[in-house]
Structure 1
Amino acid sequence: MTSRRDTLLDAGVQIIGERGLHALTHRAIDAAAGLPAGSASNLFRTRDALLDAIVERFAERERADAEEMFGSGPPRSAEELTQALVRFARHATGPGRALTLTRYAILVEAGIRPELRQKLGSTGAGVNAWFRAWLLLAGSADPDRDGPVIMNHWTGIVLHELANPAPAFDPSGQIRTLIESLVAR
């Protein structure tokens, strides 16, 4: 069962993902969550407190999505890593679209608000460690070098697809080329 707090935060994620950060208000969250007026402001007194909690919530949800998607275990080869990243890109631009757009909106906001950078840095550190371990298993000789190259390219592919959706989105060629050039040597 989802807690009242998570219901409110999930509503916030949906608002940002569908309408942008400018639409994020306590009142909008209450309405989207179907809860009485004042529910969000009782838990999150300021917009900053609300945004901090949304950062934590979208990180939790992305991790849960990834664990569900990759529940069969980490990739053990460059091809398995390619397939995992392709599945994740399709999810991020399809069923996980609002969540992904929320992450990108908050990344842009972090360019303006240093306190968000810190919050994103702490949630991102866990993801980076997890991905570094995947790269080692897949055959990377230098996961500290390969990780940022792969994830920055993947982020660009996903961002481009979100901004300019293609009817037949297929990131497999780009991702395979990148993984083969860095990992499968």
Structure 2
Amino acid sequence: MTTTKERALDAAICLAGSQGIRAMTHARVDAAAGLPKGSTSNHFRTRDALLAGVIARIAEGERADLAPAARGPIHSIDEFVDVFTAVVTTLTGPHADRTRARYALFLELSSDPELQAPLRAQRAAFAELARILLAGLGAKHPDAAVEAFMAFGDGLILHRLTVDPGAPVRRSVAIAVRGCLEA
């Protein structure tokens, strides 16, 4: 069963992802979550506390999405492509609002390194996982490969979130992975 705190965080993520960070007020979160007035502020006294809670909730959800990639070694390029196609499809489909909220938070909090730290840590963990997997598949230059792959992934995700939600994923991921392994 979802707790009041989780309902508030999920509603805040949906607001931020669909209407922007400025829409994420305590009162609007209460209304969006169907909670009595003041419920969100009981758990998150300040805006910074609410932002920190949202960031932690986003990270928790994304770790769950990445679990298939982190479950163990990936032995083939096709398996790598399948896993990351599923991740991109999930981030831009069922969890599009959460992904939009993450990007919005990155931008909004660029002048607040303390609040942005968990977002950067989450990204660093994902990049390290991708680097290990690319190296395991024979990337000649794993550090350069992961930089290129992460940039490609951000571009594909933003494209699907903003321009073409139905843009194909697997073929693009396959091309990018093969290019990262060869470079």
The two structures have a TM-score, normalised by structure 1, of 0.87
Unaligned runs of 5+ in 1: none
**Structure 1 residue 84 corresponds to structure 2 residue 83:** yes
Letter in 2 for 1:82: V
- Give unpaired runs (5+ residues) of structure 2: none
1:181 alignment partner, one of 170, 174, 179? 179
Deviation at 1:138, TM superposition (A): 2.7
Matching of residue 119 in structure 1 with residue 111 in structure 2: no
RMSD value, Cα: 2.1
Cα displacement (A) at 1:127:
2.4
Query: Per the alignment, in what secondary structure is the counterpart of residue 173 of structure 2?
Result: helix
Aligned partner of 2:8 in structure 1 is 8
**Would you say 1:171 and 2:157 are equivalent positions?**
no
Aligned residues with identical type, % of pairs: 34
In 2, Cα distance between equivalents of 1:117 and 1:172: 31
Measure how far apart 1:44 and its partner are: 0.9
Alpha-carbon contact 2:55-2:119 (below 8 Å) kept: yes
Matched, 1:66 2:62: no
Question: Structure 1 residue 184: deviation in Å?
Answer: 5.6
| Residues 1:137 and 1:14: Cα distance change in structure 2 (over 3 Å) | same
3-state DSSP of counterpart to 1:183 = helix
Q: Which residue of 1 aligns with 2:37?
A: 37
Contact map agreement 2:127 2:150 (CA 8 A) in 1: no
Moved more, 112-121 or 48-57: 112-121
Task: Give a deviation string over 1:93-143, Cα, whole Å, max 9, x none.
Answer: 211111111111111112233323323223333323332332233332433
- Range moving further from structure 2, 102-111 or 76-85: 76-85
1:72 and 1:130, CA in 2 relative to 1: closer, same or farther beyond 3 A? closer
Cα 1:74–1:160 change in 2 (3 A) is: same
How far, CA to CA, are the matches of 1:147 and 1:54 in structure 2?
27
Q: Within 2, Cα distance between the matches of 1:118 and 1:57?
A: 14
Which letter maps to 1:44? F
Match in the other structure for 1:136 = 135
Structure 2 counterpart of 1:57: 57
CA apart distance, 1:62: 1.0
Matched letter for residue 30 of structure 2: D
Q: What do residues 23-77 of structure 1 show as CA deviations (whole Å, max 9, x unaligned)?
A: 100011111121111111111111111101111110100111222x558754222
Q: Could you tell me which amino acid in structure 1 is paired with residue 174 of structure 2?
A: R
Q: Report deviation, 1:156.
A: 0.6
Call closer, same or farther: CA 1:73–1:119 in 2, change over 3 Å.
closer
**Which 10-residue stretch deviates more, 69-78 or 81-90?**
69-78
Letter in 1 for 2:171: G
Measure, in 1, the Cα distance between the counterparts of 2:2 and 2:128: 28
Structure 2: distance between partners of 1:65 and 1:119: 17
Runs of 4+ in structure 1 over 6 Å off: none
